[in-house]
């Protein structure tokens, strides 16, 4: 638990500096800098001598000092919920690729859906002077970032919008996707449809619930309270919710799962159920095709790519007003969403 920043000195284990290289090569400090950075104005012969000294000493430029001098870190930060979630892996990778194309590295941190941890992480990244910040919000108040943004940290929100501040955001169409998915079930004859989602304080979860209600209302169908789960990704609670909806006097004949975590558990729960139950889930997951699960797919990589591109456009000096970009979703019919209603 010891905080690594508070340890006794170790001075990089006495690494050679440009000064050492200069001494060894018998040239001036700045000449070494020129060679290292490929700046013009150095004779081939001098350059050779410097390169040789660099080789021998095993010199590597200290980017910390460089950053201090130049004011740019060539680093961007990504605050997401959980890198282990298969939805965020590809997103992060996409951000990384864009960053790489711009010569930047990526630091990412997981908030574990905890607003305090999100803030702590984001501010730690700012202290390191990342040039830009991409945030998948856990909290719903991002005013703490205002000083940073004013100070020049480009900031883009992904997957969920920022709270209480005006900033770029790149989102999937949660509302539309959920509405389409539920409408799909309705089109296949379902009238009693259950919704199992995540905590409604999460923006996407709330939007998907809204989409569910909209689809039901569009079709003139009532929604019973018992058809909407309290909202949780905990497998036990999801299982309970499924069981109860299916055991009710007027059981649901179809389910809509609000995200990948929930969907996985619902699929498992339904596998144990005697009667076939229709299912549409939000998010595509690996092997869902083999299991025949109909899903509303969103493109995690596209979210990441779009956000990162926007970020770097800003870093390149673009001075547009903050904007909200919404990416569409795709319904992939694979069987589970096309099961007709079964009598109780």
Interacting residues with a copy of itself between 267 and 286 (CB under 8 A) = 267-268, 271, 285-286
Q: Which of residues 291-330 bind a copy of itself (CB under 8 A)?
A: 291, 301, 312, 315-316
Nearer to DNA, 43 or 321 (CB): 43
Map residues 29-68 to x or -, x wherever contact with a copy of itself holds by CB under 8 A: -----------------------------x-xxxxxxxxx
Residue 33: name its binding partner from DNA, a copy of itself, none (Cβ under 5 to 8 Å by kind).
DNA
Residue 105: name its binding partner from DNA, a copy of itself, none (Cβ under 5 to 8 Å by kind).
a copy of itself
At closest approach, how far in Å is the CB of 313 from a copy of itself? 11
196: which 2 tokens? Answer: 């199992």
| Residue 143 touching a copy of itself (CB under 8 A) | no
| Residue 93 touching a copy of itself (CB under 8 A) | yes
Residue 340: name its binding partner from a copy of itself, DNA, none (Cβ under 5 to 8 Å by kind).
none
* HEC readout, the chain: CCCHHHCCCCHHHCCCCHHHHHHHHCCCHHHHHHHHCCCCCCCHHHHHHHHHHHHHHCCCCCHHHHHHHHCCCCEEEEEECCCCCCCHHHHHHHHHHHHHHCCCEEEEEECCCCHHHHHHHHHHHHHCCCCEEEECCCCCCCHHHHHHHHCCCEEEEECCCCCCCCCEEEEECHHHHHHHHHHHHHHCCCCCEEEECCCCCCHHHHHHHHHHHHHHHHCCCCCCHHHECCCCCCHHHHHHHHHHHHHCCCCCCEEEECCHHHHHHHHHHHHCCCCCCEEEEECCCCCHHHHCCEEEECCHHHHHHHHHHHHHHHHCCCCCCCCEEEECCEEECCCHHHCCCCCC
Strands 294-297, 254-257: pairing is unpaired
| Residue 220 touching a copy of itself (CB under 8 A) | no
* Separation between Cα atoms, residue 229 and residue 262, nearest integer Å: 11
Nearer to a copy of itself, 88 or 227 (CB): 88
Which listed range, 143-151, 180-188, 217-225, 276-284, lies at the site for a copy of itself (CB under 8 A)? 143-151
| Residue 233 touching a copy of itself (CB under 8 A) | no
| Residue 147 touching a copy of itself (CB under 8 A) | yes
Residue 109: name its binding partner from a copy of itself, DNA, none (Cβ under 5 to 8 Å by kind).
a copy of itself
At closest approach, how far in Å is the CB of 32 from a copy of itself? 15
| Residue 343 touching a copy of itself (CB under 8 A) | no
Which listed range, 103-111, 206-214, 233-241, 326-334, lies at the site for a copy of itself (CB under 8 A)? 103-111
| Position among 18, 32, 126, 228 found at the interface with a copy of itself (CB under 8 A) | 126
Nearer to a copy of itself, 85 or 338 (CB): 85
**Inter-residue contact 111 to 121 (CB < 8 Å):** yes
Q: How many residues does the chain have?
A: 344
Strands 154-158, 132-135: pairing is parallel
**Inter-residue contact 263 to 282 (CB < 8 Å):** yes
At closest approach, how far in Å is the CB of 334 from a copy of itself? 13
Give the interface with DNA as residue ranges (CB under 7 A). 9, 11-12, 15, 17-19, 22, 26-31, 33-34, 36-37, 40-43, 45-46, 59, 61-62, 65-66, 68-70
At closest approach, how far in Å is the CB of 213 from a copy of itself? 29
| Residue 73 touching a copy of itself (CB under 8 A) | yes
């Amino acid at each position: 638990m010891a905080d690594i920043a508070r340890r006794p000195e170790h001075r990089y284990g006495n690494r050679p500096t440009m000064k050492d290289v200069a001494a060894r090569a018998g040239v001036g400090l700045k000449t070494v800098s020129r060679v290292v950075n490929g700046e013009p104005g150095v004779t081939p012969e001098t350059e050779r001598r410097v390169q040789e000294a660099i080789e021998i000493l095993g010199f590597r430029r200290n980017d910390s000092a460089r950053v201090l001098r130049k004011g740019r870190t060539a680093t961007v930060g990504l605050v997401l919920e959980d890198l282990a979630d298969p939805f965020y892996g590809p997103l992060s990778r996409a951000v990384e690729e864009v960053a790489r194309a711009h010569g930047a590295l990526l630091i990412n941190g997981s908030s574990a859906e905890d607003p305090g941890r999100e803030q702590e992480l984001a501010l730690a990244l700012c202290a390191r002077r990342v040039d830009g910040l991409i945030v998948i919000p856990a909290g719903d108040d991002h005013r703490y970032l205002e000083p940073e943004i004013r100070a020049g940290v480009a900031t883009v929100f992904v997957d969920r919008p920022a709270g209480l501040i005006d900033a770029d955001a790149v989102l999937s169409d949660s509302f539309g996707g959920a509405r389409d998915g539920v409408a799909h079930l309705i089109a296949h004859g379902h009238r009693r449809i259950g919704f199992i989602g995540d905590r409604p304080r999460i923006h996407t979860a709330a939007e998907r619930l809204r989409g569910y209600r909209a689809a039901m209302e569009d079709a003139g169908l009532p929604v019973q309270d018992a058809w909407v789960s309290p909202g949780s990704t905990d497998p036990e609670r999801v299982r309970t919710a499924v069981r109860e909806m299916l055991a009710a006097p007027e059981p649901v004949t179809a389910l809509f799962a609000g995200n990948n975590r929930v969907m996985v558990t619902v699929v498992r729960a339904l596998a144990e159920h005697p009667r076939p139950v229709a299912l549409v889930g939000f998010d595509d997951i690996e092997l869902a095709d083999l299991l025949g699960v109909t899903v509303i797919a969103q493109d995690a990589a596209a979210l990441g790519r779009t956000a990162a591109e926007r970020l770097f456009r800003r870093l390149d000096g673009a001075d547009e007003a903050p904007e909200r970009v919404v990416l569409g979703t795709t319904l992939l019919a694979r069987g589970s969403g096309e099961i007709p209603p079964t009598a109780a």
